[in-house]
Amino acid sequence: MPLLLKRKSVLPGFGISLGFTTAYLGLVVLIPLSAVFFKAAGVGWAGFGDAVASPRALASFRLSFGASFLAAAVNALFGTATAWVLVRHRFPLKGLVDALVDLPFALPTAAAGIALTAVYGANGWLGRPLGAIGVKAAYSPLGVAIALTFIGLPFVVRAVQPVLADLDAEVEDAAQSLGASRLAVFRRVILPTILPAVLTGFAMAFARAVGEYGSVIFIAGNMPLHTEITPLLIVTRLEQYDYAGAAAIAVVMLAVSFLMLLVINMLQRWTRRRAGG
């Protein structure tokens, strides 16, 4: 009877790997986040409610979450269209356009904010014609949405692009040969396939936009109750030595971010199940 040799792994065993992973996540993620929760708990429920339910905090929540949702929705639409063009069409400088999609990833957020303010300001290339028709972009909630749309575009494009690349064009041709219109092909063949990726890109863009700071503070104007985002309010509370109030607002942002991560993970599992089925 042949002897069964135990297969040796190049990496350490489960026990060592799990211990290292737990220690690393604890030091880098769990301990700092726990400190925020403990700091916020120090003010009690009444103080926590006063901090997160103040008019200034509620206005910042409305702006941050509302502008983030709007920016993610715009990116879901136009990011999907951009991914379609990059996958299904050939045109000059396609590689350059594909590389430009990732520019918001590489560009420092402060540089992005300065560039957007210069373009959408009252005397900017786009701000001047918009002002002529009565639309104020910079130093308004619209400017916040523009900045968040800028930094969120790559998430949708990169989520949808590989799914479109794997979608066989012959399936669409077969549907059209059977008499289906272009709209019917998109609605019945293409959309069900790419929808999980679009939703994943939307959730990632929303989660990224909620915590954005550098690219927004230049174009927002930072007026309390009007154009002040929540991350800026946290920084303002810290500068005023209101550490407990800043921690309380940060806990709300952490809870929303964690919820979005759960949504993203569920969407990714859904995508894998559809691909496997």
6 Cβ contact partners less than 8 Å away, ≥ 6 residues apart:
none
Q: Is the CB of residue 124 less than 8 Å from the CB of residue 225?
A: no
Q: Which pLDDT value is given to residue 6?
A: 53
- Confidence band, pLDDT 50/70/90 cuts, at residue 274: low
**Residue 195, CA distances (Å) to 31, 76, 159, 226 in order:** 37, 10, 10, 35
Task: Kindly report, residue by residue over 53-104, the tens digit of the pLDDT.
Answer: 999 999 999 999 999 999 999 999 999 999 999 998 888 988 899 999 999 8
Tracing tokens 């709209």 back to the chain, one arrives at: 183
pLDDT tens-digit profile of 254-270? 888 888 778 777 877 77
Identify the CA nearest to 64 among candidates 237, 231, 260, 239: 231
* Residues 64 and 208 sit within 8 Å (Cβ to Cβ): no
**pLDDT confidence of 8, banded at 50, 70, 90?**
low
- pLDDT tens digit sequence for 213-243: 988 999 998 899 899 999 999 999 999 989 8
Q: Domain coordinates of the chain in residue numbers?
A: 33-102+151-213+226-276
- For residues 29 and 212, the model is more confident at 212
For 33-102+151-213+226-276, CATH number out of 1.20.140.10, 3.40.190.10, 1.10.3720.10, 3.40.50.300 equals 1.10.3720.10
**How many residues does this entry show for the chain?**
277
CA nearest 72: which of 139, 161, 135, 159? 159
Chain position carrying tokens 């989520």: 159
- Tell me how far apart the 2 most distant CA atoms of the chain are, in Å: 88
**Token pair for 169:** 């064009």
